Chains A and B, each alone.
Chain A
């Protein structure tokens, strides 16, 4: 892959890979190096399962309202994404490969590639955690399609926001504690909308759930566009 990118670099403009092709290569690079060690995904999954178990055991056999269930599942998903999504940028700084990456690919491509990787990671986590949560806390959404829509669009918006924050955090000191503090204001609209939407889909059929799905997607697109515009300025120093 590196050879492919190097070849692009040395062989003039006419054969240059487009940004999307470059993003694909970045994504594949991250995926391969992750599958090689599985360090990030394992620790994030375990962390998420632990936080799920903390919540479930704290509640025990009590009856809780849909509002509380909706809030709890999003708290778990938020912790999950803040525990692991900064990994894609941190690993480049830790191993000292960020400079090489900067030489080989356009910064927009790097951001998009890493964003796609994070989207995949978040969806894997969601796919494991949400059914478990549902079984253990008797989640019975009346509007099952709306529920899936809110969970999907909410996690997409979540991972866009977390990736944006991670790209800024990777260059700062005291990353761990800072990540939550910096990401929180960016992701709060997501939390508010997602909890509201999840509650609605648990309560009733149809109605304003889809408006919230639309709002979440809109937020993801807006934030993603802004991040792609600003990211080169953060990345190239």
Chain B
């Protein structure tokens, strides 16, 4: 393998779409166009929602909700790779094992990014809608805790120097930390909800028009997921170049 091949980003992770000059560039351009379309539709097609304190601000939902979904997706992707790492430790080649570990780390880092974005957009929305940046709503607290789970993973990762040990410890932690995550999302609201009735229904907001669903599911969410895949591949490749022990 020549040095040029090694630095060619298209060799390993990126799918080659139709033999473009730089592999993977076509679908990335498609994602860019799709995202631009989505953003334009959010401001031009989707209207303000009646019943909101600040009807124009309802558009923020179209950026906030996909971020929250992506943060969850990041955890799922990370956990799947963590399981793959821990169960396949004896079967996989060292290089494959290492790249699985990088994938867990990449999805956790992106998870932190998206959960912080979710918290920020959520706070702005809360200020517009309910008058305060922070309302102690169950969903607000759970996103902050998910944020801290991602952060804890990254902190743990930086605290172990031996790469093999680090990979194993961090994957194990990521899997154990799912339990409080699941508990917070599905169990805790059911226990606490009975004490604060209607706290959760306030989050959902009024009925959104059909345009919202169309733009959300057809434009914004797919382009977000595409961006996630792109960032994920980029992060894994750069980790391989910086820290990788196997060429």
Q: Which among B86, B149, B160, B176 is the interface contact of A172 at CB below 8 angstroms?
A: B160
Q: B139-172 toward A: CB 8 Å interface, digit per residue (1/0)?
A: 0010001001101100110011100110011011
Are B191's CB and A193's CB within 8 A? yes
Are B152's CB and A185's CB within 8 A? yes
Are B191's CB and A168's CB within 8 A? no
B29 in contact (CB, < 8 A): no
A233-B86, A233-B172 known; A188-B148 Cβ under 8 A: yes
Instruction: Name the interface residues of A151-202: CB closer than 8 Å to any CB of B.
Output: 161, 164, 168, 171-174, 178, 181-182, 184-189, 192-193, 196, 200
A35 in contact (CB, < 8 A): no
Q: Which among A196, A222, A233 is the interface contact of B183 at CB below 8 angstroms?
A: A222
Are B165's CB and A226's CB within 8 A? no
A218 in contact (CB, < 8 A): yes
CB distance from A158 to the nearest CB of B (A): 12
A residues near B165, Cβ cutoff 8 Å: 171, 237
Most buried by A among B155, B164, B183: B183
A193-B191, A223-B180 known; A182-B175 Cβ under 8 A: no
A110 in contact (CB, < 8 A): no
A residues near B169, Cβ cutoff 8 Å: 168, 171-172, 234
A residues near B176, Cβ cutoff 8 Å: 164, 168, 186, 223, 226-227, 230
Q: Which among B159, B187, B194 is the interface contact of A174 at CB below 8 angstroms?
A: B159
| A–B complex contacts, Cβ < 8 Å, 8 sampled | A185-B151, A188-B148, A193-B188, A211-B194, A226-B175, A226-B178, A230-B175, A237-B168
B residues near A231, Cβ cutoff 8 Å: 172
B204 in contact (CB, < 8 A): no
A residues near B152, Cβ cutoff 8 Å: 181-182, 184-185
B173 in contact (CB, < 8 A): yes
CB distance from A71 to the nearest CB of B (A): 13
B60 in contact (CB, < 8 A): no
CB distance from A149 to the nearest CB of B (A): 14
Interface size on B, residues (CB 8 A): 34
B184 in contact (CB, < 8 A): yes
Q: A171–B173 Cα gap in the complex (Å)?
A: 12
Q: Which among B164, B179, B180, B187 is the interface contact of A215 at CB below 8 angstroms?
A: B187
A212 in contact (CB, < 8 A): yes
A219 in contact (CB, < 8 A): yes
Q: A103–B232 Cα gap in the complex (Å)?
A: 40
B241 in contact (CB, < 8 A): no
CB distance from A86 to the nearest CB of B (A): 14
Are A173's CB and B179's CB within 8 A? no
A185-B148, A189-B184 known; A196-B192 Cβ under 8 A: yes
Q: A159–B138 Cα gap in the complex (Å)?
A: 25
Q: A161–B180 Cα gap in the complex (Å)?
A: 10
CB distance from A179 to the nearest CB of B (A): 10
B195 in contact (CB, < 8 A): yes
Are A222's CB and B179's CB within 8 A? yes
